[in-house]
Amino acid sequence: MPSAQSSTAPGPAFSGYADPDVTTIIACVTALSAVICLISALFWLKEGRHRNQFWYVAPFASGVIAGIMLGYPAMFSYLWALRIGHTAVIFSYGAAWQASRVLCSRPTRPVPVIVTCALWFIYMLSYVHSTSLLTIAPMIYAVIIGGFSALAAMEFRQLVTPRLPSATMLFWIFASYAAINFIRVPLAWFLPAPLGPYPPTWWSIAIFALLAVMHGILTTAFMIAFAREKLAAENYLLALIDPLTGVGNRRALKECTEALTAHLPEGSLVGCITFDIDRFKTINDRFGHDFGDKVIALAAKIACRTVGSDNVFRTGGEEFACILCGPHPEDGIAAAERLRSDFEHQAQNIEGVDISATISVGVAIGNIGREWGDLLKQADTALYEAKCSGRNRTILAKEDNPVLDNLSIFPAQTSRPTG
């Protein structure tokens, strides 16, 4: 460890770079940061200048300030320029973490960033008077930068839906940069500035600058790609969602059945529930289409609560389909009957209007090896039978279904017919 009396003792070299070659390197990096800052600013303006998206610009704007202060400290009050410069570097990595949270649609957390920068600035006020503090400064510096980079990496790691290729790349970019900084913590005892406490060399400055530049360029490129991919994924998702009820549409039903066919083991039990609102045209004629929409939305809400929102699909005006994975036959008919009964109870009165709405339900259960289209047709046939039998009924399709051949406890229908 260097001592205060040693000729190799750390001096202000860690904080400022007086060598002309070093100054040139810093000037180049600062200019590049300014270009990236401009690109980020244009991206922010194009995205609508939302307040939180300021964080897209902040890392590079702070980097420009740091480059000016550290590259030309003699132009300012020397020690204050170094303190501000190094604090600006730390802020830039904290801001990158906040930008990651904004991209992932999470609320920002600026307080930890501000507190960390404030504590570092206070530390810098004292370390120039202490050799021991000066020696460990690069280690603390690396830990802070690595910590913020690791936090940014976790933001993309925790992003599950939508899982985008650019999110994976951003995770590895931030994770790699965090690892590099953590690895250099024990090595900082032996390295020149800015990697360690000893006087800087051209190669240490070049390595530090190269890592910062590569990190900035890659992060900017993939953050822009991420925003584009996220928008495309959201638009695609909107194409699968019924805007009135928030459940899937026919296209989503098709994708769901295809995914189940591909991933469930051969022979797995699957079920299909189809239902629609009885005498819905009469409801529309009596109370208006806006009120009819409320009845449809109520039916969707009850279905989501009964079988899960990911398993409910609106297939027509007042028609719905529900998918059940691996149901025991008794569970399938019980879920369908619970859906019918809950709707009958809750649709007696909607917003003070007595309408006594009901639904008719058809249920089909089979093996994954069967065609989904056949299963849906069987459920529709059972639904049609429920309609013809008086409505407000739940009927199970049993014809040509070996899964149900030995099912003796199943009623042919569960009903509370409307009058």
**DSSP structure string for 131-190:** HHHHHHHHHHHHHHHHHHHHHHHHHHHT--SS--HHHHHHHHHHHHHHHHHHHHHHHTTT
Same domain, 221 and 277: no
pTM equals: 0.61
Q: If you average pLDDT over residues 387-412, what whole number do you get?
A: 66
Amino acid (one-letter) located at 163: R
Closest to 127 measured CA to CA, from 82, 193, 65, 66 = 82
Based on the domain organization, do 221 and 263 belong to the same domain?
A: no
Radius of gyration of the CA atoms of the chain, in A: 32
Tell me: do 141 and 188 sit in the same domain.
yes
What confidence score (pLDDT) does residue 12 get? 42
pLDDT at position 208: 79
Residue-averaged pLDDT of the chain: 81
**pLDDT(13) > 90:** no
What pLDDT sits at residue 14?
43
Evaluate whether residue 7 is within a structural domain: no
DSSP state of 371: -
Positions marked active-site: 318
The alpha carbon of residue 278 and the mean position of all alpha carbons in its chain are separated, in whole angstroms, by: 40
Q: Is the pLDDT of residue 403 over 60?
A: no
How many CB atoms sit inside 10 A of residue 317's CB?
A: 12
pLDDT tens digit string along 149-163? Answer: 999 999 998 876 667
CA 378 – CA 306 distance, rounded (Å): 21
pLDDT reported for residue 111: 96
Residues 279 and 408 in one domain: yes
Residues 285 and 380 in one domain: yes
pLDDT band at 400 (very low <50, low <70, confident <90, very high): low
Does residue 223 share a domain with residue 338? no
Does the residue 82 lie in any domain? yes
pLDDT digits (tens, 9 = 90+) for 304-346: 999 999 999 999 999 999 998 866 767 888 899 999 999 999 9
Q: Which of 91, 88, 85, 83 is nearest to 129 (CA)?
A: 83
Q: Exposure string (b/e) for 56-79, b if CB count within 10 Å is 16 or more?
A: bbbbbbbbbbbbbbbbbbeeeeee
Output the domain CATH number for residue 27.
1.20.1070
Same structural domain for residues 234 and 331? no
Q: What is the pLDDT of residues 358-372, one digit of tens each?
A: 999 999 988 776 678
47 within a domain of the structure (yes/no): yes
Token look-up 């199943």 returns 410
Q: How many domains does the chain have?
A: 2
Could you tell me the residue range of the domain that residue 78 belongs to?
A: 12-238
Rounded-to-10 torsion of CA 368, 373, 378, 382: 120
- Assess whether 94 and 130 both reside in one domain: yes
Query: Among the three residues 184, 207, 238, which one is the final residue of a domain in this structure?
Result: 238
